[in-house]
A and B are shown apart, each in its own frame.
Chain A
Amino acid sequence: MNKLTRYIAAFALALTAFSATANDAMDAYAKYGPRGDRSWGLKARVGYAIGGTMPIPLPAEIRSINRFRPNGGFSFGVDGYKQFDKRWGIMGGVHFFMEGMSTGADVKNYHMGISMGEDYLEGQFTGVDITDVKMSGLTIPLTATFRINPRWTVNLGPYMNVLFNGDFSGSVYDGYLRVGDPTGEKIIISRENPATYDFGDDMRTLQFGVQAGFEWKATPNIGLFGQLDWGLTDVFKSGFETVDFPMYPVYGTVGITYSLY
């Protein structure tokens, strides 16, 4: 990283200044920092998110993942930031996000329960499980920022997700369910007549996690960014026991920023 940073820094310096003095370097921080004499600014961002909602680590009940398709979506938002000094600052914003995935997995003895109104069916499923996850909502991050050099900034901090719409649905087939526990009644579930599920209503509206990201300024106003949102709360409400293990959203976003003000 250091080497690369140095190259880029050197390149940036070569672009922006002929006389390599300390003052010029200071000017470069100003050039790619907040406009004018201000220590703060506003930027807009547009990106595309890909990733998955998954148990971490994968439980032994999942025998193989035969299909994984990130079902990504656009994200856009506005951030405000403030520099405390040349390097350190803080950034907070509101981002709208759409994220999702589609997986097909072979499972063995996978505990599942489905409730529909008053009726409840619970057991251990062995066979194929298809899951589709779609989520949309707002991410509200608050991160510390550090400018490695005039053009590169990294940030790290907590975020909160407010879910507008959560869909967690799927089907199971090509296998069988043991009702209750492994000694219970065996029910064959065929591909022709799969059992479907939808846990969208059981998804947690407020989720928390950690965001880590970087931004590289291509011009004083336009930058490229990448960020990773690592969920630390189960996407399901507490008390939801259908899926035996917590599922965490882990999504990465890449895109463009633009300084608004």
Chain B
Amino acid sequence: MSKKLFLFFLACAAFTSCIQEEPLNSECDIEACRVVLDDPMAVFYAEADAECSVISVDTMITFYTRDVKRELLKSVAVQLQLTEGATVSPENGSVQDFSGEGVRYTVTSQDGQWKRRYLVRFLPKESLNPKFDFESVELEPTKQKYFQWFAFDNSGARQDLWATGNSGFALSRSSAKPMEYPTVPWDDVVGEAQGVSGSTKAVKLETCNTGSFGAMVNMRLAAGNLFLGTFDTENALKDAMAATRFGVPVNRFPVRFRGYYKFKPGEKFQDRQGKAVEGKVDAPDAYAVLYRNTDKNGNRITLQGDDVLTHANIVAMARVENFLHTGVEQGDPWKYFDLKLEYKEEKDYELLYNYGYNLTVVFSSSVKGAEFEGAIGSVLLVDEAEIVFE
């Protein structure tokens, strides 16, 4: 009997202890990269611009430079930080010619099974197109599941400066069609009645239910949002406030924030746990914030969901107060807003010309959306917004 029991326990122990050899890594990311230069300030506006961390979905890595001669970029070494064990071609840190469209790198995973192709390029920093007509919109190219917005600068080059939380919503509602996302293009536009012509698309922001997956991670709704900056899906679950990274560098001082909206609150305001809050009515949000983008030590700062309205580096702000419930149907009136940015400190032109200020413009269908509170069905339409620079 004891022998049998012994064999039985031996068998049990075998299952729990026979751990196989560790498989090689399958990932093949460029996690970060750094331009190796003797004098980075000759090429960049700030030393911090010579380094960047790469979001997991990005395969286009852009370094924004001063308006320098392209010859300066003929022989530049870029040091890449790769997934452990991954290899890259051309060789990591080798001198390459970046004066053209850029250099294509292929990263191969440690196990040799997976490859990713990246383009690393240098572009002169261009100033933000201040007219937000929301006409340039496309389906996100790799998955074709949701919309993303872009614009063109003075020279006609494309600017990908607008971000939404749509990629986060894609994780929770994989079955959603592109037009069921929180942020979508809309064909009810500002027109002749407002003395505006040429608009064919507005933006519709709607607070949406994130379904069972959202509930699983206690993020039961997603407010429609559209903002100048980037959305970091990698951190969206871990720290939603850190996922919205607000602001793009500007080289002029904004003075006014204008645009048109329509708004209708959703029926039931709910708290983070999804419980209805009696008597509370949802409100949207729209604001422009200008802030200094480096700290005292010269490190880059990016304002996030939890400090975009409160950070000590904020220099100027304009925020739409008391949204009207205009309704969001075709015949409902557009409401115009035209706000002055209130400066709370002296303008530093030296800093400005070195792109030391970031500007963000944020629209959201629920003011508390970043905390996953709001009313499902709240809709904010926005069209023909703009920032007026000095």
Residues of chain A whose beta carbon lies under 8 Å from any beta carbon of chain B: 1, 4, 51-52, 54, 56-65, 68, 108-109, 114, 116-121, 124, 176, 178-179, 181-190, 192-193, 195-196, 214, 216, 226, 228, 250, 252
Contacts and interface: CB of A to CB of B under 8 A. Distances in A.
Contacts of B79: none
Contacts of A58: 15, 18-20
Contacts of B172: 119, 121
Interface string B359-370: 000000000000
Given A187-B171, A190-B238, A250-B15, A57 B109 contact: no
B331 interface: no
Contacts of A182: 26-28, 109, 113-114
B8 A183 contact: no
A116 B213 contact: yes
A121 B237 contact: no
18 contacts: A1-B3, A4-B3, A52-B12, A58-B18, A58-B20, A114-B213, A118-B174, A178-B27, A182-B28, A182-B109, A183-B114, A186-B56, A187-B233, A187-B234, A193-B217, A193-B238, A226-B5, A226-B8
A84 to B, nearest CB: 24
B174 A121 contact: yes
B28 A183 contact: yes
A185 B233 contact: yes
Contacts, number: 121
A226 B238 contact: no
A58 B18 CA distance: 7
Given A121-B171, A179-B171, A226-B4, A60 B20 contact: yes
B288 to A, nearest CB: 30
B127 interface: no
Contacts of A118: 174-175
B237 A188 contact: yes
Nearest to A154: B4
A189 B238 CA distance: 6
Given A54-B15, A182-B109, A185-B167, A226 B1 contact: yes
Nearest to B239: A190
A214 B8 CA distance: 12
A121 B236 contact: no
Given A60-B21, A109-B23, A226-B4, A181 B213 contact: no
Contact of B174 (A4, A120, A181, A188): A120
Interface in B220-261: 233-239
Contacts of A68: 16
A4 B2 CA distance: 10
Given A58-B15, A58-B20, A250-B15, A120 B237 contact: no
A176 B28 CA distance: 15
A228 B12 CA distance: 11
**Residue of B115, B167, B211 contacting most chain A CB atoms (<10 Å):** B211
Contacts of B115: 183
B374 to A, nearest CB: 19
Interface string B112-139: 0111100000000000000000000000
Contacts of B89: none
A57 B15 CA distance: 7
Given A186-B56, A188-B234, A195-B237, A119 B211 contact: yes
B212 interface: yes
Contacts of A183: 27-28, 114-116
Contacts of A252: 8, 12
Nearest to A114: B213
A63 B17 CA distance: 10
Contacts of A63: 19, 22
Given A108-B22, A187-B171, A226-B1, A52 B216 contact: no
A190 B234 CA distance: 11
B173 interface: yes
Contacts of A57: 15, 18, 20
Contact of B16 (A1, A65, A186, A216): A65
Contacts of A62: 19-20
Contacts of A109: 23, 26
B217 A56 contact: no
10 closest A-B pairs by CB:
A186-B56, A116-B212, A118-B175, A182-B26, A60-B20, A188-B238, A190-B238, A60-B23, A119-B174, A182-B27
Contacts of B114: 181-183
B218 interface: yes
Contacts of B116: 183
A2 to B, nearest CB: 11
B57 interface: yes
B217 A195 contact: yes
Contacts of A54: 15
A214 B216 CA distance: 46
Contacts of A120: 174-175
B175 A189 contact: no
Interface string B29-47: 1000000000000000000
